[in-house]
Structure 1
């Protein structure tokens, strides 16, 4: 963007230089045209009342010098006007370029701000989605563990109901010894209470 701005300024400067050159040439042509049909500024004597006048070569030379000086002053004035116009145009162009650069910088900053805001919102949404997914996984894991424990308890209860204790024909001391030999805790460390009818 800066290179485009510099290129635009250089092109405008070249155009202004050509315009100044054209004004100078026009001024020179105008001076030559005026010089062809312009009377010499000869000083008339105070007691002149009309009629033909004869001037010495010195007077004619002085008149021509005065005319050249006057034309040079006019040319200088025209050149000063052209230079002021060129400076005004350059200042106006530089001001317009600076304003354009400021507008572009503002637009770019707004785009960057909007992009950063969108990235932050996307990151926040992805974090929230990951958090929800982790919570759902944790809940499903808890539910599956709870269901497994329930099914294990049901299986243990069913097995204990289906188990039939047959006492031997011998004395009851042997059966009480066999009951004492049974474990009193499960694999998970829970206390096992044998129903009274199986004791």
Structure 2
């Protein structure tokens, strides 16, 4: 065996490389590695390690970005929640203020009504009741008989073109 194949570190790398990359020219039996093949295997191993390190770095960066994005979302959600709570408190305060104002107006109206009622009762109790003018019924003379013409009326009844008499109501005379 050559110098490169006898060192234990190189052997481990070669076996690892051999397992990970299936070579086309391997046909079974003992494999002797030439210095060129060892360099190629080492180059492949270096590329693989570099890719692995880059992949780990990329995964770490992605994880960090996801974490930052999640923190940003949490901050935004907390801000929205705080805004909603603040708006709700403002609406509740306005609602309570309107309710208090409404209750105050109702109370003032009721107090004014009570005062007005008390004054109205005292005024009406001190005065004599006013009698409404009742309509006076016409007195019909019993002795007049079937006379339909009004006694107090000095205006003769109107006569239509057909010859009928028209009695105007009292309010139009």
TM (normalized to structure 1)? 0.48
Distance 1:35 1:69, change over 3 A: farther
In the other structure, the counterpart of 2:26 is 33
Deviating beyond 6 angstroms after TM superposition, the runs of 4 or more aligned structure 1 residues are none
In the other structure, the counterpart of 2:74 is 108
Unaligned runs of 5+ in 2: 1-14, 129-173
Please give the alpha-carbon distance, in whole angstroms, between the structure 2 residues aligned to 1:75 and 1:87: 18
Unaligned runs of 5+ in 1: 1-20, 39-63, 163-199
Report which stretch shifted further, 81-90 or 91-100.
91-100
1:128 aligns with 2:94: yes
Report 1:72-83 matches (<5 A): 72-83=38-49
Counting helix residues as a fraction of each chain, which structure ranks higher? 1
Shift of 1:120: 1.0
In the other structure, the counterpart of 1:56 is none
Alignment root-mean-square deviation, CA: 3.2
TM (normalized to structure 2)? 0.54
Say how many residue pairs are matched. Answer: 113
Q: Which has the higher contact order (CA 8 A, sep 6+)?
A: 1
Please, which of 106, 109, 112 is the counterpart of residue 146 of structure 1?
112
Please give the alpha-carbon distance, in whole angstroms, between the structure 2 residues aligned to 1:107 and 1:84: 34
SS of aligned partner of 1:119: helix
Distance 1:23 1:120, change over 3 A: farther
Report 1:37-76 matches (<5 A): 68-76=34-42
SS of aligned partner of 1:30: coil
**Deviation string, structure 1 residues 23-82 (Cα, Å, up to 9, x no partner):** 55144x53973998x9xxxxxxxxxxxxxxxxxxxxxxxxx8xx6555444433322221
**Deviation string, structure 1 residues 150-183 (Cα, Å, up to 9, x no partner):** 1101111222234xxxxxxxxxxxxxxxxxxxxx
Please give the alpha-carbon distance, in whole angstroms, between the structure 2 residues aligned to 1:90 and 1:81: 14
